Structure 1
């Protein structure tokens, strides 16, 4: 049996009772380690191993996308746990893993948990007023895609909020090392809300002004959220241009672009407005 188990938002104790009981009985335990990380835990795998009383194997992007047979092979005659920060179905890669298991006749079970997709409601916005979620990638000097703006503008025109998931880079191969025939990895990078706001503002220059004029500008309100679910959670509401100068501290971060507000939403957001 292949178990896909959600770990919740940030703390090792956020796992459900059902999920913990399954982990403790599994022969092998894998932790997906590229779509998200557990705050203050993923960089100290020993904490998880002590909590589960199990060896935990880190599953990076290469393993999950190209070497999934290693995970599936053990699921044929035994129980394997595949742990995912948030909810197991928060990334399409995990759906692909399920389909591969089905193709091989391997049984699977999903143990759901909280994710940023629903916990974002902590800022006061009502979940059914959100439109399509977008991902904002970390830009480089020569690569600055802005296609995420299309969905933000489409949501905004409909009066809907937009949850922006911010890019993280974990175990990314160094291009410089690869050119020298070596294998080395870049230090982990986590996009912050101020960087995301800056990229959104810079993206205005790539858009047809008719598309966003009167819909979105530097003064449009956004909400920055950091470390949602933790004791030091941070929520700040301000204009996009002001968010560029806000530092919400350690990861993980996400950003929300406001749509039209219900009176109750406005009352809640007043608690976080700068």
Structure 2
């Protein structure tokens, strides 16, 4: 039959499109993954909206045991709700590829992701270079991959902005804060306390928090809102600078 990946958007079930809701209603079985970020929706409300029970997937269910989903998709209409946009994470692209190999019909219903929401910071989206993901130090035995700092340095040389995604371990309710992310960046000497960066929290909500300030100040204020990202600005256009100064 089919496998449909549906983007949940950035904040809660109200972000779903009419098309997404209709697709879920027509399905035989619905799954959801909530391990890539903090979702503020209500699972019971989402079940009521689509009239279906929803089964939550853990990381290993998609990364190691996805064969079970494919087996069901051969005879049923399967929907998997994915945080943000379905194809930002490579894991979900791999799901589509494997489904196609198995001759399972696929469908993608897109939604907003942090990669589109960063425009709310006032920075021009087309001026962003490759983004980086900041893992918790214990995941890498205290030594971060050099590639993270190399990407940031290369973006700086080219005058491009860098989006820094902060680590999430949803199963343990553990979310990297802006302060923790900045301390990691400071340890790699890619920024210093006199640099100005953007901290962007709760994107997609009715009350997002966007702060443009010196690194030294941000490490003292310790923004606790989650999920958060850090943006290291490159060379600013005058309209970007003007926007940032009004935040």
TM-score bin (small chain): over 0.9
Indicate if the aligned counterparts of 1:32 and 1:82 stay in contact, CA closer than 8 A. yes
**Contact 1:197 / 1:241 at 8 angstroms: preserved in 2?**
no
Q: Does the alignment pair 1:201 with 2:186?
A: yes
- Which residue is equivalent to 1:114? 112
Classify the secondary structure of the residue corresponding to 1:145.
Answer: coil
Cα deviation for residue 136 of structure 1 reads 0.6
Which of 187, 190, 194 aligns to 2:175? It is 190
How far 1:21 sits from its partner (Å)?
0.6
Q: 1:78 aligns with which of 76, 80, 83?
A: 76
1:49 aligns with 2:47: yes
Partner of 1:269: 244
Q: Distance in 2 between matches of 1:63 and 1:250?
A: 28
Local SS of the residue matching 1:245: helix
Mapped partners of 1:162, 1:202: distance in 2: 17
Task: For residue 168 of structure 1, report the CA deviation from its aligned partner.
Answer: 0.1
* Per-residue deviation, 1:146: 4.4
Deviation at 1:170, TM superposition (A): 2.1
Partner of 2:144: 145
Contact 1:234 1:248 in 2 (8 A): no
What is the deviation of 1:203?
A: 1.6
| TM, length-normalised to structure 2 | 0.94
Distance between the aligned counterparts of 2:35 and 2:12, measured in 1?
Answer: 17
SS of equivalent residue, structure 2 residue 180: helix
- Ranges in structure 2 where 5+ consecutive residues have no aligned partner: none
Residues 218 and 239, structure 1, Cα contact 8 Å, conserved in 2: yes
1:21 aligned residue = 22
Q: Structure 1, unaligned stretches of length 5 or more? A: 172-186, 205-211
**Superposed structure 1 runs of 4+ greater than 3 Å apart:** none
Alpha-carbon deviation of 1:36? 2.2
Normalization by structure 1: what TM-score?
Answer: 0.85
Could you tell me how far apart the structure 1 residues matched to 2:168 and 2:58 are? 13
| Number of residue equivalences | 244
Deviations 1:10-58 (A, max 9, x none): 02110111111101111111111222232x22xx522322222211111
Once the two structures are TM-superposed, the CA of residue 71 in structure 1 deviates from its matched residue by 1.3
Q: CA RMSD in A?
A: 1.5
Tell me the residue number matched to 1:98. 96
